[in-house]
Amino acid sequence: MISLPKLKKLAEREGTPLFIIDHDVIRANYEKLHKHLPRLDLYFAIKANPVPEIIQTLYALGSGYDVASIQEYQAVLENIPSKLRGKKLDDFIWDKIIVANTIKPVETLKQIANYNTLMTFDNQYELDKIKEHCPDAGLVCRLRVQNVGSVVELSSKFGVEPGDAPNLIEKAFEMGLSVEGISFHVGSQCANIENYLNALEASSQIFKEVKQRGHKLRLLNIGGGFPVPYDGIDPPFEAMAKKLRKEIDRLFPKNISVVAEPGRFIVATAATLIVEVVGKSFRDDKWVYYVNDGVYGTLSGVIFDHIPYHFNAFKRGDKRLSAVVGPTCDALDTVSTSEMLPELNIGDLLYVKNCGAYTNGSATTFNGFPKTKILNINV
């Protein structure tokens, strides 16, 4: 983590609110994931934090990219070396980009046709669109799997039931499409290893059944969901990774490519937000501090990502229960009603740690407040 004196100095130099992204932490997180799950090819889910500099940093590490829209697709291509925008681009797209959104607009499919782009599907209607508008795609069938205990649940919206997957995959082959493999997602911020183990077992059975029907799959995508530390809780990632390594090797031979789509794990701990107290009041027996960023801005993850973000003061003193709210006119713009803080004055600074995932990416300009300034360090 950046030292407190350096945080204050950056805030004084750049102004607030200020969102600081430390690329040394991004590199360390990527390498940690690669070290403990060496068999996996990593595709960064850029929705977690779509800052161009992050795309560039991860490209240098050999990362691929999980994209969900044509805008994210283009953001990747705009931030790779120019030498790859020529004759080598086709190979790069196939090997380094996965369109992981199972539902894609027709216009998107038309724009990415003729690149053999990997993409997911989970229903017949999507296959029909792909067949008509992007038949050269490499398809990955997404399964509906357990998301028990995950902070952000995904299976209610995506994935075919495992029992129906072989028939759907066979239908794709009958349509003349190329099915490369299977994917699943156990939910974001998942500390329940059973979600992964059950999904791996189900995927293995589908691989076997599809093979018995005369088709060969060569790719397994285990999604993301790897947990990161919030509120001082450090999930047992190393222990989880050890079990995952063992189970993947048991169920899937070496000729099966195994990939993952980490987002939160790579960027969550890499960013710190600094805000300024712009107002204060005493309400409901506690101090309420109004700061210049909130849930309509960088701390949008409170709403969209279900993560509680907590404030730390540079100032010392006796702490008491306080609330911190954002600058907009909406009462929804309440970041926390239970912060332990010293009494603050207008102009004092607060900082929020581990806010690099699903925050600035979903920020808005509601009420006309501009998005927070982003500062990339150690790029």
Residues with active-site annotation: 329
Cis peptide, bond prior to residue 370, ω within 30 of zero: no
| Amino acid sitting at position 43 | Y
**Cα 94–Cα 237–Cα 242 angle in degrees, nearest 5:** 80
**Helix segments in the chain, DSSP class H:** 4-14, 23-36, 52-60, 70-78, 89-96, 106-111, 124-133, 165-174, 193-212, 237-251, 264-267, 301-304
Q: Please, what is the end-to-end C-alpha distance for the chain in angstroms? A: 15
What is the secondary structure of 268-336 as a DSSP string? GGGEEEEEEEEEEEEETTEEEEEES--TTTGGGHHHHS------EESS-S-EEEEEEE-SSS-TT-EEE
- Evaluate whether 66 touches 46 at the Cβ level (below 8 Å): yes
> Which residues fall within 8 angstroms of residue 212, CB to CB, at 6 or more apart?
none
Q: Max CA-CA distance within the chain? A: 71
